[in-house]
A and B are shown apart, each in its own frame.
Chain A
């Protein structure tokens, strides 16, 4: 096998792996119970899914301006997607959407500091 062939196979493996994680993210968004849990599934898509796809494309592009641009796309994705997730989680919490919890380890004092709505473990989400 030539180097180009090996690079090609590696790129395919990365692209397929990335597709797998994107798919898992999608399945997770459908299966998980509430907004907060679904954010975690979206996180899979945002981090490893994006990384593997862009890495696969980067190998296809070789060492060039295009792969540098792909690296920048990855950097911006990884810097902005947590901000978006956090904003979404905070907005839905303060809009009064209660998370469906197995355990709540927030002390009364902290709950007051965060002006949290009271959430009991095991409470059913409204949707």
Chain B
């Protein structure tokens, strides 16, 4: 990262990594969360779609903020998520929050509590397009779960 590639510095880096891994193994805190196999390369299809959604949502929120009448209708609603893994839910909840105009406030089981800046943004989410896209990104590597034996 620093642009220095001397053997000394690189070996310090490698030694640090090995040290951290050794300590983590000794403490027994290496778990399945460290190796998120549920999300495969299909995330590369999901990200560009999410990026376009973010740009659209930004323009929508910008218009509402700059409108002289402050064109907002704050809404609180719940949303069912269809992801089977925790990581999938995190991806979905973070996508909702990353998109301006909607924030995931709480998660209980497979239900999300969402605050939206406008009723239109709430309706868009309730249609479930983002939910399906996240689930599609998640299901790609489902056999990894089976290989692990907890499907």
Contacts and interface: CB of A to CB of B under 8 A. Distances in A.
Interface of A: 21, 24, 27-28, 31-34, 36-37, 39-41, 43-44, 46-48, 65, 69, 78-79, 81-83, 85-86, 89-90, 93, 99-107, 110, 113-114, 116, 119
Nearest to B50: A78
B43 to A, nearest CB: 12
A93 B107 CA distance: 13
Contacts of A28: 61, 65
Nearest to A42: B100
Given A43-B99, A103-B73, A110-B111, 9 more contacts: A36-B74, A39-B115, A43-B61, A82-B94, A82-B95, A89-B104, A101-B74, A103-B77, A105-B122
Q: Is the interface of A mostly helix, strand, loop or mixed?
A: helix
A101 B74 CA distance: 5
Contacts of A24: 62, 65-66
A47 B51 CA distance: 10
B98 A40 contact: no
